[in-house]
Structure formats: C-alpha cells, structure tokens
C-alpha cells in the first residue's frame, strides 16, 4: 500500500472531508482504499455518517479483526441494517462476529422487514419496575447505561409478562422525591406503535404528537424496543424521496442519484416511459379518427398540443396535491367524495379562466394577423373557433383535474401506491380523452356553420 | 351554550377522537365550539397536537384567563410560532399575557424568520460551566429541570462570553466519577448550526449525523438555543410537501389540503396554469408554421401528441430526480456537468428504446390496417414515416431529458427554488421545441421522397 502522501486519489493525505466530497464519484475499491487512509478518529466519525449500504461495503473489505471492531461500534438496529445490505452469503459470517447478546437482538430485528416499526427499532431501552423507588430507579438506570443502553431519557415500566404499563422520563425522576414509587410518577397514557406498523404510519404518529421516542409493542402488548426521532427523520426523507421520484414518473432509485449506475438508472426509468409511450400511441389513432372530419377547418389541428397539455397540467396539479395529502394523512380513502366535489369546482373554475384566455388569444390573433392567403386569421368563423377552443379547454381542464384527483384514490383502493399516479401518467391519460373532448366539441359547435 | 348531549355537530358528547376526525371539515367557529366541549385533560392533549395556525385560532377565541393558561402550556418556540400565526393586531396582546422570562425568550425567537434555525430553536436548554464537578453538574441540571428547561439530556458547556465550548450528555455524566470535572468529560468536537441557517440545511445535518439535538450559535459562537429532532421531523415533512406541490405545478398550499378554501386553492393553482397555458399557445404558432409544408403527408400530424408527450414525460422524470437529489444535498450546483453527461446518455438511450417502439408501431399498422381509401396505412413511404417518427422521438426524448435535468440547476443558479422546475413546466417547455424537432426532422427525411 502506498504511503499517504502518494495517495493516488487525491494526491495528498486523505482527510475525512476530502473523502466525503469525493465519495459519490469513487468506485467501491477506491472508497475502501480512501477509508483506510483515514486516521482512526476520522474513520470512526466518517463510518458513523455512512448509510447501511456503504457501511456493508467497507466492513466486508476489511480483515476480520477490524470487521468485529466496526460492527461493535454500531447500535443493534444499525448492525441489522448493515447485515441486510450485505450479500446473502456473507451474513452468517457477519452475525458470527457479534457477541451473544447483540446476536440475540439482531435475530429479533432481522425477523422484521426494514420498513416496519420492528425493523426501525432499537431493542435496547431502559426498563424499570413499577414497585421501585425513584432513587432505586435512578441507580438502576445508571447501571443500564453501562450495559450499552443508549437512551436512558425515557425509561419504560414493564410488568412480569414484559408488558408495557407506563413510561417515566429521566427528567420526571429527577424532579420527584427519592422515596416515591415509580408507579406514582410514571405516565400510563402512552402513545405506542405496533411492531408491524408501516414506517410511514410511525412517522405520522411522531409528527402528530411531536415525539422524541416511541415504544414498540407486539400484539400482546409486550415491549420490543424503541424508535427514536433521529430514525424518523431518515424515514420521512426516504419516503418523500420515493414519492417525488414516483410522481416524476420513474421507479424509486433507492440510492443517491449520482451513485446509481447508468444501466440501473435506465431500468428504473424505461419501464414507465414505455408504458406511457404505448398509452401515447392511442392519441395517434384518436387524431386519425377525427382528422377526416375536421380537415376543412385545418387550423383546428394547430390547437391540439395546447389543449391537451392544458389537461395534463391541470391533472398533474390535482394528483400531486392529493398524493401528498394522502401521504400526510390529511385525506383518507373515505374522503374521496369531498375531494371529488372540491376538484369539480376547482377544475371548472381553472378551466373557465384558461378558456377565456384561449378565446381572447383567438380574437386578438384574428384582428392582428392574416393567414397565408392574406385573409384574417381563423376566417369569418373565428368567434365560433374561439368558443370551440374555450369550451374544449374547460372540458379538458375539468376532466384532467378529476382524473388527477381520483386516480390516487383508485390506486390506494387497489392496494397500490397513490404516488404512482405520476404527473406523466395523468398527463397521458388525459391526452387521449382531451383529443376526443376537443374534436367532439369542435364537431358539435361547428357542424352547422363550417361543415 | 348547549349542554354537551345537545352538541349540534356530533349529536353526542364530543370526544377528542371525534373532534380530531371532524376537524378538517369544521369551519373556524365550529372548531372553537367543539374544542370547548372537551374535558380539560382531552383539551390539553388535543391542543398540543394542533399546528400553530389552529392553536392561534383556538386561543384567540377564548377568554383572557384561559388564553394565558394555554400559552403557558407551550414551550417558547411553540408560543412564538402561535404568535406568528395570529393576526398582526393581536400579537401585542398575546405577548403581554406571558411572564417576563418567556417574553424575553419570545422576543429573541420572533427576530428570526420561521424557516431559519433561530426560528426553530428552543431558547431554554441546560447549561453548565466547565469547572463544575460531575456531581455539582447533576445537581445543577436537576435545578434547571424545575425552571422549565425541558431537555436536560444534553447539557451545553458555556464560557463567560456565553460561547459554546463543549457538550456533555446526561448519560456521560451518569457514567463518570462524581468528582471528575465537566471539562474532562465533555465532548469538544461539536456539530453546531448557525442561527440564520435555512431549516432545510439544518435537516440535512440532522440526517447526516443522526442527531437527536443540535446547538444553535450566532456568528460569534455564542449559544442561542437548541433544535431537537422532533422539530426536524416536521421540517422535513413540510419541505417535502412544498417540493411535491411545486413539482406538480402549483404553489405550496401552506395548509392541509381539505382546510384550504376554494378561492385560496384557486389562487395557488391558477398562476402557474396561466403561465403554462400562455407557454402552450406557442405550440399553436409552431404547428401553424409547419402545417402548410407537411399538409401533403397529413398523417404526420396525427403523431404530434404522442411525440410531444414523450418529451414531456422524459423531462418530468429527469427534473424530479434532479430536484430531489439537490434537496437531499446529493447533487450540488457544481455537479451540473456530470449530471448533463449522465442525462445525455440516459436521454439518448431512453429515446432509442421509445423510438424503436414508434417505428415498430408504424410498420405493424402498415401491414395490419388500411386508411380510409383502402390503401395500406401510411402509404408506400411507411418506412420513411417510421424513421421520421423514430428520429423525432429520440430527439425529443433527449431534449426533454436535458431541459428537465438542467432547468433545476438554472433556477438554483438564479437563486430560485429548483422545485419550481415542475413536471408541467418542463413538459410545456419541451412541447414547443418538440414540435419544431419533429417537423424539422420530417422535412429533412421526407423532402426528397414525398415533397
């Protein structure tokens, strides 16, 4: 191995900050190499900042003695995440490096899926009995601190069956008389989460109650661990990232943008684009179907793009608003009728504003411009053309808004992710119908006069 | 006032849970009325769950004695938020209800904007001097607890100028010898945030370091307060909500979807739709410009909608991926060239896949279907038409992808929010150029054969 001053990556001694900056562009080997140049203090700080995937990469590249060291530097929930990110065949080896009590904790954690409360929780928490005195409790917590219980700020009071009966904050213990019993000080009205609750629901509970920490219980009420707010910050960021990526019409990337390989990136993006493209080909048939009938008013076709994009835009707005409101728990499945009514009103109003603009555009152009033959633009029937366009815009905007607002409900009803009602999907769905609405209105309005 | 059993809203005694369910549909008066039916224990629990806006609504509707009571139930940062949500003319009155020390705290907080670290922080935190012994420190923290310092789990060590010199967790104090000095136990390598740092940057620091709590300092290094992870959970949710709403092409709603009045909703949504609509009218001119030249191949126009929606979809994908990567700090302004290269490759590859599908569509239709005159669809030049469409799809997809990927960089460079590069904006921008690309390619490919 080269001496630090010959470092091939950075030309100088690697500092944590340099490595952090370069991390995204380094390939796995260079990452491991860079990491090994850090001083041990820097390496520890750096390691603790990495995500589970990168931690697994580093640990697997180190000799066994160091592997054991790094695994022991992490709390059990982070060890479990690291092991879940490691290749299947290395997991047994990694688990064998742990001490007996951590191994037990990890086995419990690995039984849960990563996105459940049980997969997020830390199985080491401070426990008390309700019959202890406050002074005994403080001393007992002090001992638990030495046994690697990290969070002693809330202590959970369990009965003989490990059922959670109360919680007491360290602050409350400090303020209480030393000879009071824990049962007199503890709070018994508890916010808890079920071990199999989805992490998004756990995050909503944190936000609603402004919690720092929540106990996780199994269906029998037995305490399994605690979830802390720092884990929830990560959950909220990840869930929002997934939703935003889906709203944009790709699959969730599951890794930082610059770290996803091109092939992987194409896989995540091509699927939806292909589906949408096939959906888009129906517009070809739709336009073809009407083309013969309106050929005599050729300039009608020039409005196609404007009118359908109007439906797509209205729909994208409505779907993203509804998707986010659902994710935040502001709108539930049973609210669909209220959302429908609101969006009818919104779609019609927005359509009316845009339709008026469309009508104005045609009137103004008629008076300002001439067509290729020198006649005023849009001919004598320019008002009828304007009314056709205005009505089409109202119809398309309302339709797009309703499709966008109701599609997330439909997806959730089917057990799918509402965020899949992406802006492009809503736009594509409203394209075909937009064309039909436009040309149908055109045929109806103009039939007596032009044809 | 009616007795609870005659409650006009719910027909029975109001419970916190009922009120919580009905909250979104109630008008302000009904909310206040419902709140006043709660038992005091329920009311307290309920009040603490409300956002600042609803808390202000409730407090302002109560008699002064109760106002004072509710304001004192909140920590100072929440009181400051409530006051910021109250109408200008009521703020002085609300501040006058506070005790002297809270009033001082609030005045500091109100000097910061809501979305800065200073506006998020709690100015009450546990302080120590470095010369204290561990036992003295524990006793001192115990006293501070009684003075309404809520969070004693981290204690901050300040020098005479109020500058932050170290931090010690309560756990570390508990584990240390009682006669050790605080300076021997404290950690001096600190993660801090500046008081004027944007809340999104604060959230990134929490996520990167997995923090429960961070100290806020002014530019001179003087400690001003602490921000805790529960506040950051709210920040991350709010920021993601704003980004998602902007990505969908509306302004941020700033309130739960069902609680925004229709007029307010229209204001937030109409602005962008009007801008996009006006942008969309350029497609009318673009199509009009080319119409005369390609009229002889009428069926080319049937592909317009498919081709431009292809550009819009590719662009929406790229822009949302880049916007989110920027918000997470994964991609910085100086990475624009790397993003450009990646997206060139992605756009060309995705375009090639879709272009091939487009070509196949035309070949298959030519062999399966006939036009109105009974001849094979797309005539003898169907292969040339297919190649035109395929090339146009490649061009439009690449162009849309690049516009989508680079627009967020442009907006950030101008000091604007990258999330304003909404899916509809990107789609509209790529619509006009998509039409030009399509028809230019059509003219070039078909000029020798059809025209």
Instruction: Quote the CA–CA distance of B340 and B342 in Å, as a whole number.
Output: 6
Closest CA to A61 of A101, A27, A84: A27
- As assigned by CATH, the class of the B126-245 domain is alpha beta
Q: CB-side exposure of B69: number of CA atoms within 13 Å?
A: 10
Instruction: Quote the CA–CA distance of B240 and A200 in Å, as a whole number.
Output: 14
Does any CB of chain A come closer than 8 Å to the CB of residue B50? no
| Inter-chain residue contact A312 with B310, CB threshold 8 Å | no
| Inter-chain residue contact B320 with A248, CB threshold 8 Å | yes
Give me the residue label for tokens 């633009």: A377
CA distances from A275 to A249, A271, A313, A424, B20 (A): 10, 6, 19, 11, 41
Which of A175, A274, A320 is facing B145, going by the closest CB pair? A175
Instruction: Quote the CA–CA distance of B388 and B438 in Å, as a whole number.
Output: 8
Contact by Cβ (8 Å): B100, B72: no
Closest CA to B234 of B120, B137, B124: B120
Q: What is the pLDDT of residues A162-215, one digit of tens each?
A: 999 999 988 888 888 889 999 999 998 889 999 999 999 999 998 888 888 999
Which pLDDT score is estimated for B258?
84
Window 173-212 of B: residues touching A by CB (8 A cutoff) are 174-175, 203, 206-212
- Judging contacts by C-beta atoms under 8 Å, the chain B residues touching residue A145 are 171, 174-175
Which pLDDT score is estimated for A1?
37
Is 2.30.110.10 the CATH number for B257-446?
no
Q: What is the pLDDT of residues A396-450, one digit of tens each?
A: 999 999 999 999 999 999 999 999 888 889 988 888 888 889 988 888 887 765 4
Closest CA to A121 of A170, A79, A158, A73: A79
CA nearest to A320 within chain B: B248
| Inter-chain residue contact A248 with B247, CB threshold 8 Å | yes
Does any CB of chain A come closer than 8 Å to the CB of residue B25? yes
Which tokens hold the place of A156?
A: 């959970």
Q: Is B341 in a helix, a strand, or coil? A: helix
Window 55-84 of B: residues touching A by CB (8 A cutoff) are none
Does any CB of chain A come closer than 8 Å to the CB of residue B378? no
CA distances from B119 to B92, B97, B234 (A): 19, 21, 13
Q: Is B116 in a helix, a strand, or coil? A: strand
- Judging contacts by C-beta atoms under 8 Å, the chain A residues touching residue B248 are 247, 316-321, 423
- Judging contacts by C-beta atoms under 8 Å, the chain A residues touching residue B316 are 248-249, 422-424
> Span A44-52, mean pLDDT?
84
Does any CB of chain B come closer than 8 Å to the CB of residue A264? no
Which pLDDT score is estimated for A330?
86
Nearest CA-CA distance, residue B177 and chain A, Å: 12
Neighbours of B261 (CB within 10 A): 10
* Apex A292 CA angle, A290 and A296, nearest 5: 110
Does any CB of chain B come closer than 8 Å to the CB of residue A96? no
| Inter-chain residue contact B314 with A273, CB threshold 8 Å | yes
Fold matches, B4-117 and B257-446: no
Does any CB of chain B come closer than 8 Å to the CB of residue A116? no
| Inter-chain residue contact A309 with B276, CB threshold 8 Å | yes
Does any CB of chain B come closer than 8 Å to the CB of residue A292? yes
- The residues that bridge with A181 in the sheet, in sequence order, are A133
Does any CB of chain B come closer than 8 Å to the CB of residue A256? yes
CATH of domain B4-117: 1.25.60.10
Per domain, the residue ranges of chain B are 4-117, 126-245, 257-446
HEC secondary structure over chain A:
CCCHHHCCCCCCCCCHHHHHHHHHHCCHHHHHHHHHHCCHHHHHHHHHHCCHHHHHHHHHHCCHHHHHHHHHCCCHHHHHHHHHHCCHHHHHHHHHCCCHHHHHHHHHHHCCCCCEHHHHCECCCEEECCCCEHHHHHHHHHHHHHCCCCCCCEEEEECCCCEEEEEEEHHHHHHCCCCCEHHHHCECCCCCEECCCEHHHHHHHHHHHCCCEEEEECCCCEEEEEEEHHHHHHHHHHHHHHHHHHHCCCCCCCCCHHHCCHHHHHHHHHHHHHHHHHHHHHHHHHHHHHHHHHHHHHHHHHHHHHHHHHHHHHHHHHHHHHHHHHHCCCCCHHHHHHHHHHHHHHHHHHHHHHHHHHHHHHHHHHHHCECCCCCECCCCCHHHHHHHHHHHHHHHHHHHHHHHHHHHHHHHHCCCCHHHCCHHHHHHHHHHHHHHHHHHHHHHHHCCCCC
Q: What is the pLDDT of residues A207-257, one digit of tens each?
A: 888 888 999 999 999 999 999 998 899 899 989 999 999 998 888 988 888
CA nearest to A45 within chain B: B209
Q: What is the pLDDT of residues B120-143, one digit of tens each?
A: 898 888 899 999 999 999 888 878
Please determine, for residue A354, whether its predicted confidence score (pLDDT) is greater than 50.
yes
Which tokens hold the place of A333?
A: 């499945």
| Inter-chain residue contact B302 with A288, CB threshold 8 Å | yes
- Judging contacts by C-beta atoms under 8 Å, the chain A residues touching residue B285 are 302
Instruction: Quote the CA–CA distance of B298 and B321 in Å, as a whole number.
Output: 37
| Inter-chain residue contact B325 with A256, CB threshold 8 Å | yes
Please determine, for residue B10, whether its predicted confidence score (pLDDT) is greater than 80.
no
- Judging contacts by C-beta atoms under 8 Å, the chain B residues touching residue A54 are none
Neighbours of B189 (CB within 10 A): 8
CA distances from A203 to A236, A363, A401, B208 (A): 7, 53, 29, 18
Q: What is the pLDDT of residues A76-121, one digit of tens each?
A: 888 888 988 888 888 888 888 888 888 888 888 888 888 899 988 9
| Inter-chain residue contact A316 with B249, CB threshold 8 Å | yes
Q: At what angle do helices A100-110 and A76-85 cross, to 10 degrees?
A: 60
Would you put residue B221 in left (φ > 0), alpha (ψ -120 to 50) or beta?
left
Which phi and psi angles does B215 have, rounded to 5°? -80, 145
Q: Per-residue confidence at A7, pLDDT binned at 50, 70, 90?
A: very low
Which phi and psi angles does A84 have, rounded to 5°? -65, -25
| Inter-chain residue contact A253 with B321, CB threshold 8 Å | yes
Q: CB-side exposure of B395: number of CA atoms within 13 Å?
A: 19
Contacts of A142 (CB under 8 A, 6+ apart): B174, B175
Closest CA to A257 of B353, B319, B233, B235: B319
Which pLDDT score is estimated for A54?
87
Which pLDDT score is estimated for A11?
40
Instruction: Quote the CA–CA distance of A319 and A402 in Å, as a whole number.
Output: 9
CATH of domain A126-247: 3.10.580.10
- Judging contacts by C-beta atoms under 8 Å, the chain B residues touching residue A426 are none
CA distances from B371 to A339, A438, B9, B175, B357 (A): 44, 23, 64, 86, 21
Instruction: Report which of residues B168 and B14 the model is more confident about.
Output: B168
| Inter-chain residue contact A256 with B328, CB threshold 8 Å | yes
- Judging contacts by C-beta atoms under 8 Å, the chain A residues touching residue B145 are 171, 174-175
Q: At what angle do helices A52-61 and A28-37 cross, to 10 degrees?
A: 70
First and final C-alpha spacing in chain B: 84
Contact by Cβ (8 Å): B411, B327: no
Q: What is the pLDDT of residues B214-229, one digit of tens each?
A: 999 999 999 999 999 9
Instruction: Quote the CA–CA distance of A420 and A326 in Å, as a whole number.
Output: 13
Instruction: Report which of residues B28 and A386 the model is more confident about.
Output: A386
Strand order in the sheet with A126-128: A126-128, A154-158, A164-169
Q: Is B236 in a helix, a strand, or coil? A: helix
Instruction: Quote the CA–CA distance of A260 and A238 in Å, as a whole number.
Output: 16
Q: What percentage of chain B has pLDDT greater than the value 70?
A: 93
Does any CB of chain A come closer than 8 Å to the CB of residue B299? yes
Contact by Cβ (8 Å): A165, A195: no
Instruction: Quote the CA–CA distance of A422 and B422 in Å, as a whole number.
Output: 12
**Which one of B233, B348, B356, B377 would you mutate to disrupt binding with A, by most A Cβ within 10 Å of its Cβ?**
B233
The domain at A10-115 falls in which architecture? Alpha Horseshoe (1.25)
Q: Per-residue confidence at B35, pLDDT binned at 50, 70, 90?
A: confident
Does any CB of chain A come closer than 8 Å to the CB of residue B168? no
Task: Using a cut of 0.90, tell me whether the model's pTM lies above it.
Answer: no
- Positive or negative, the CA dihedral A390, A392, A398, A400 is negative
Neighbours of A92 (CB within 10 A): 9
Instruction: Quote the CA–CA distance of A398 and A404 in Å, as a whole number.
Output: 10
Which pLDDT score is estimated for B340?
95
Which pLDDT score is estimated for A84?
86
CA distances from B436 to A282, B372, B439 (A): 22, 28, 5
| Inter-chain residue contact B427 with A313, CB threshold 8 Å | yes
Which pLDDT score is estimated for B351?
94
> Span B247-268, mean pLDDT?
87
- Judging contacts by C-beta atoms under 8 Å, the chain B residues touching residue A171 are 145, 150, 152
């Amino acid at each position: 191995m080269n001496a630090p001053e010959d470092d091939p990556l950075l030309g100088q001694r690697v500092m944590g900050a340099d490595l952090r900056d370069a991390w995204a562009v380094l390939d796995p080997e260079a990452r491991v190499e860079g990491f090994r140049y850090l001083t041990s203090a820097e390496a520890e700080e750096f390691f603790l900042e990495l995500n589970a995937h990168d931690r697994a990469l580093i640990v697997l590249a180190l000799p066994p003695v160091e592997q054991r060291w790094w695994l022991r530097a992490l709390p059990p929930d982070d060890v479990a995440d690291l092991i879940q990110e490691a290749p299947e065949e290395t997991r047994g080896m990694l688990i064998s490096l742990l001490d007996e009590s951590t191994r037990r904790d990890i086995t419990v954690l690995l039984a849960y899926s990563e996105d459940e409360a049980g997969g997020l929780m830390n199985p080491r928490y401070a426990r008390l009995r309700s019959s202890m005195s406050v002074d005994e409790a403080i001393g007992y917590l002090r001992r638990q601190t030495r046994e690697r219980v990290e969070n002693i700020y809330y202590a959970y009071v369990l009965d003989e069956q490990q059922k959670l009966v109360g919680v007491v904050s360290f602050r409350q213990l400090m303020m209480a008389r030393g000879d009071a019993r824990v049962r007199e000080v503890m709070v018994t009205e508890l916010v808890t989460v079920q071990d199999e609750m989805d992490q998004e629901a756990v995050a909503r509970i944190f936000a609603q109650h402004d919690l720092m920490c929540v106990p996780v219980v199994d269906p029998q009420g037995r305490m399994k661990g605690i979830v802390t707010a720092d884990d929830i910050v990560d959950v909220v960021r990840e869930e929002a990232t997934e939703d935003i990526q889906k709203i944009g019409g790709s699959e969730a990337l599951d890794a930082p943008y610059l770290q996803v390989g091109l092939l992987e990136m194409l896989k995540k993006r091509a699927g939806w684009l292909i589906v949408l493209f096939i959906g888009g080909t129906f517009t070809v048939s739709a336009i073809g179907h009407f083309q013969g009938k309106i050929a005599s008013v050729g300039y009608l076709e020039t409005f196609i793009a404007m009118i359908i994009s109007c439906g797509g835009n209205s729909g994208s707005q409505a779907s993203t608003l509804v998707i986010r409101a659902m994710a935040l728990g502001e709108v539930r499945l049973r609210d669909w009728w209220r959302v429908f009514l609101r969006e009818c009103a919104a779609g019609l109003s927005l359509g009316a504003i845009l339709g008026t603009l469309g009508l104005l555009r045609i009137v103004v152009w008629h008076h300002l411009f001439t067509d290729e033959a020198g006649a005023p633009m849009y001919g004598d029937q320019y008002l009828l053309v304007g009314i056709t366009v205005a009505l089409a815009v109202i119809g398309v905007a309302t339709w797009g808004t309703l499709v966008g607002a109701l599609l997330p409900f439909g997806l959730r009803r089917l057990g799918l992710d509402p965020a899949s009602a992406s802006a492009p999907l809503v736009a594509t769905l409203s394209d075909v119908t937009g064309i039909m609405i436009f040309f149908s209105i055109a045929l109806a309005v103009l039939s007596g006069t032009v044809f």
